[in-house]
């Protein structure tokens, strides 16, 4: 029996890591073969929505906590299969289990969870004579470092209107959140407008971040990896790519602390089963294996994922950058799960579409947020 599995991947290193996961399913269940289908993250959810709606999705569907609510109509709730197979889910981080649930039903089992952090170029810091960030450093210290690191075509930071990273920075700076407790979008509060304007002005007015040339979700990471920007918001899921591609020493730092201390969001991803899958029992066996302690420990040890299972999270640190543990521990202690509306993908696209105008000084933050709030689906 062959089961298709759809997953995002950013390159050969990424795809190889996931192919090994697919192979481990077959090692445990020789009658189950997994065909891995990958696409870039920026295209993945658009394609997935079309395939789920048309009943042609892969049996095993990779899902991100930010977007779960918008895709559940095409996915199978896993609660009955969890119970039927007596799967002990107590080892999974509760925040990411919640993030991959909707309406009281579990739609995916998690493979990773991560709190947003800053990655920084140690070489650029040393060359500019800037002290390395300490856990809990402030927004003021971050801005001062970014100014010293800017010059000669180089920038201290790279800012982009990508929701998870941007809203983590805004949360720490002003406490603003993009959604209220009832699930409604709240982009036009005074706190949010002030926070968004501050973040956009890192490029538009302060000039410590480059202007944004256009909509490209990979642009910020490209600026960081290419040595143009000294700091970037990131998550522990990117360690494998950074270790493989960075030509400099990478350090990790906490999100700069605002008046109420360091704040951050956490998010993660997992694997579910499409409604159109004709083999849900076999697909669940596969998903259970793909999220087992053995597999997640292996993913953690190569830096591909900060494991969603608490029992093997130490594996991530074995191959992480020097000094990572106190940073990740502090980020996890201060982070809260990133909650989104039930139709979040269009919000992400609108933020990118209009947001870059504020980053380039062509619109105010208030104008951008008003446009997104008005045009976002209810």
With a CB cutoff of 8 Å and minimum separation 6, the contacts of 365 are 193, 196, 197, 200, 358
Mean pLDDT, residues 193-214 taken together: 97
pLDDT confidence of residue 318: 84
Residues 6+ apart with CB under 8 A from 281: 81
pLDDT at 79: 98
Q: How far apart are the first and last CA of the chain?
A: 41
Q: Cα–Cα–Cα angle for 164, 269, 156, nearest 5°?
A: 30
Average pLDDT over the chain, rounded to whole? Answer: 94
**Tens digit of each residue's pLDDT (9 = 90 or more) over 54-111:** 999 999 999 999 889 889 999 999 999 999 999 999 999 988 998 899 989 999 999 9
**Whole-number percent of the chain with pLDDT over 70:** 99
Confidence of residue 362 (pLDDT cuts 50, 70, 90): very high
pLDDT in tens, 140-165: 999 999 999 999 999 999 999 999 99
Q: Over the stretch 30-62, which tens digit does the pLDDT of each residue have?
A: 999 999 999 998 889 989 999 999 999 999 999
The predicted pLDDT at position 339 comes to 82
Does position 360 have pLDDT exceeding 90, yes or no? yes
From residue 268, give the alpha-carbon distance in Å to each of 95, 134, 370.
9, 25, 28
Band the pLDDT of 239: cuts 50, 70, 90: confident
CB 72 within 8 A of CB 344: no
Using the predicted structure, report yes or no on whether residue 182 has a pLDDT greater than 90: no
For residues 372 and 374, give the distance between their C-alpha atoms in angstroms, rounded to a whole number.
5
Query: What tens digit of pLDDT does each residue of 307-355 get?
Result: 999 999 999 988 788 889 999 999 988 888 888 887 888 899 999 999 9
Burial class (CB in 10 A: 0-12, 13-18, 19+), 87: middle
Whether the pLDDT of residue 378 is over 80: the answer is no
- Out of 73-82, 130-139, 214-223, 239-248, least confident range: 239-248
Residue 303 has pLDDT above 80, yes or no: no
Do the Cβ atoms of 328 and 238 come closer than 8 Å? Answer: no
């Amino acid at each position: 029996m062959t089961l298709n599995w759809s997953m995002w991947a950013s390159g050969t290193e990424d795809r190889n890591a996931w192919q090994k996961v697919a192979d481990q399913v077959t090692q445990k269940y020789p009658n189950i073969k997994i065909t891995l289908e990958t696409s870039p993250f920026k295209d993945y959810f658009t394609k997935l929505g079309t395939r789920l709606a048309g009943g042609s999705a892969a049996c095993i569907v990779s899902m991100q906590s930010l977007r779960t609510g918008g895709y559940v109509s095409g996915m199978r709730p896993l609660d009955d299969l969890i119970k039927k197979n007596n799967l002990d889910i107590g080892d999974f981080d509760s925040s990411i289990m919640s993030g991959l649930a909707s309406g009281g039903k579990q739609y995916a089992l998690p493979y990773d969870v991560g709190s947003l952090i800053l990655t920084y170029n140690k070489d650029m810091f040393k060359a500019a004579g800037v002290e390395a960030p300490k856990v809990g450093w402030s927004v003021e210290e971050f801005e001062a470092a970014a100014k010293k690191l800017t010059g000669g075509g180089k920038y201290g930071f790279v800012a982009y209107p990508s929701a998870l990273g941007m809203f983590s920075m805004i949360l720490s700076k002003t406490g603003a959140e993009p959604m209220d407790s009832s699930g409604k979008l709240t982009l036009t509060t005074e706190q949010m407008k002030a926070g968004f304007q501050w973040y956009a002005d890192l490029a538009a007015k302060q000039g410590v971040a480059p202007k944004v040339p256009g909509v490209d979700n990979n642009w910020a990471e490209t600026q960081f990896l290419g040595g143009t920007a000294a700091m970037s918001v990131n998550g522990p899921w990117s360690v494998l790519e950074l270790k493989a591609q960075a030509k400099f020493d990478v350090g990790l730092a906490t999100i700069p602390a605002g008046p109420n201390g360091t704040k951050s969001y956490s998010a993660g991803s997992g694997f579910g089963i499409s409604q159109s899958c004709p083999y849900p029992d076999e697909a669940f066996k596969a998903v259970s294996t793909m999220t087992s302690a053995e597999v997640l420990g292996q993913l953690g040890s190569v830096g591909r994922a900060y494991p969603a299972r608490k029992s093997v999270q130490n594996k991530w640190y074995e191959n992480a950058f020097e000094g990572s543990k106190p940073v990740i521990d502090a980020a996890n202690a201060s982070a809260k799960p990133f909650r989104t509306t039930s139709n979040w993908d269009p919000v992400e696209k609108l933020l990118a579409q209009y947001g870059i105008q504020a980053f380039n000084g062509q619109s105010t933050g208030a104008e951008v947020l008003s446009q997104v709030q008005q045009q976002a689906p209810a």
